[in-house]
Amino acid sequence: MHVTLRQLYVFEAVARHLSYTRAAEELHLSQPAVSMQIKQLEDNVGLTLFEQLGKKIFLTEAGQELYQYSQQISRQLSEVEDVLEELKGSRRGTLTIAVATTATYFALHLLGRFHQRFPGANISLDVANREALLRHLEENTVDMVIMGKPPENLEVVAEPFMDNPLVVIAPPAHPLVEGRRVPLTVLQQETFILRERGSGTRIAMERFFAHLGATITSSMEISSNEAIKQAVQAGLGLGIVSQHTLEKEIALQRLVILEVDSFPIMRHWYIVHRKSKRFTALHQAFKDLVMEEARGLVNKTPK
């Protein structure tokens, strides 16, 4: 079997997008050129890698197997490039990070500081939900992940670097804003807009209320922190979000953090990577920066 790296490179892009057109755009190739590479690859391996149903293409069983290997090869080639750059004494290289959607409010600040120190570095950032973050770690497709609760079923290194308090938010005109500290029994009478099931915030909230033997009523589930904040501003209910997401809304007096018994729900942000991950000096520099900058980020948290 004679398979070229170029064929694998093109195949990985098509398999990732499940689209010849999008792969061609990413690779700056014509669609016929992409199709030709895939046809040559299928001829070389002697198996069909894609099947078409209607207007959509899907990986065959052979395609799924080859996709896993092509991703591993791509990661290893990227590691080789970074190691060789490091041996040259270069400050160049690639940093691939995935962060929880809630963490973008401070992760971009961290990446900005990192870019200032290492302007020659290439940074790849994926903002994703918890399910996608776990998949990144399981498949080892990124260097590091910034997330709330680390996985328990994978061999990872997870280091906490900052508190992540979850707070109850309300519009400024809400009746509970003017009162004293809100008892949990009063909170249970309110309606909430919540994150979708499976999100880190939702899991922490459900465990918190289950531990206290309390329940709350949900009127809406939304997968975006920004949409939750806007819904709360519109008076559709109360919300529970990370305090780190509220800097702008608190400053503009669009939202208020309620003083509620047993709140905030205290979580932590972790920087996570596979135990087997081979760190370059550039990767270690970012991890060190995260730990150094955490104190300054905490001081900026809105009250």
Same domain, 146 and 277: yes
How far is 262 from 166, CA to CA, in rounded Å?
Answer: 11
pTM for the model stands at 0.64
DSSP classification of residue 155: -
Same domain, 204 and 273: no
How far is 291 from 280, CA to CA, in rounded Å?
Answer: 17
Average pLDDT, the chain: 86
Same domain, 133 and 88: yes
Q: Write the CATH number for 250.
A: 3.40.190.10
Q: What is the mean pLDDT of residues 40-49?
A: 91
Which tokens belong to 100? 């929880």
Per the model's pLDDT, the better-predicted residue between 264 and 81 turns out to be 264
The total of structural domains in the chain comes to: 3
Residue pair 272/150 in contact (Cβ under 8 Å)? The answer is yes
Beta-strand pair 144-147/217-222: unpaired
Same domain, 193 and 213: yes
Q: What is the mean pLDDT of residues 75-92?
A: 67
How far is 37 from 18, CA to CA, in rounded Å?
Answer: 15
pLDDT band at residue 153 using 50, 70 and 90 as cut-offs:
confident
**Would the pLDDT of 296 be above 70?**
no
Same domain, 224 and 245: yes
What is the enclosing helix (H) or strand (E) of 185?
helix 184-187
Same domain, 151 and 295: yes
Please say which residue of 71, 96, 123 terminates a domain.
71
What is the enclosing helix (H) or strand (E) of 127?
strand 121-128
Taking each continuous run of H as one helix and of E as one strand, the counts in the chain are 11, 11
Same domain, 243 and 280: no
Same domain, 15 and 57: yes
**Would the pLDDT of 78 be above 80?**
no
* pLDDT score recorded for residue 140: 86
Same domain, 63 and 113: no
Same domain, 198 and 65: no
How far is 182 from 262, CA to CA, in rounded Å?
Answer: 10
Structural domain boundaries, residue 62:
5-71
Same domain, 236 and 87: no
* pLDDT score recorded for residue 22: 92
Same domain, 187 and 244: yes
- Residue holding tokens 């195949």? 11
The segment with the largest mean pLDDT, out of 41-55, 178-192, 217-231, 283-297, is 41-55
* pLDDT score recorded for residue 92: 64
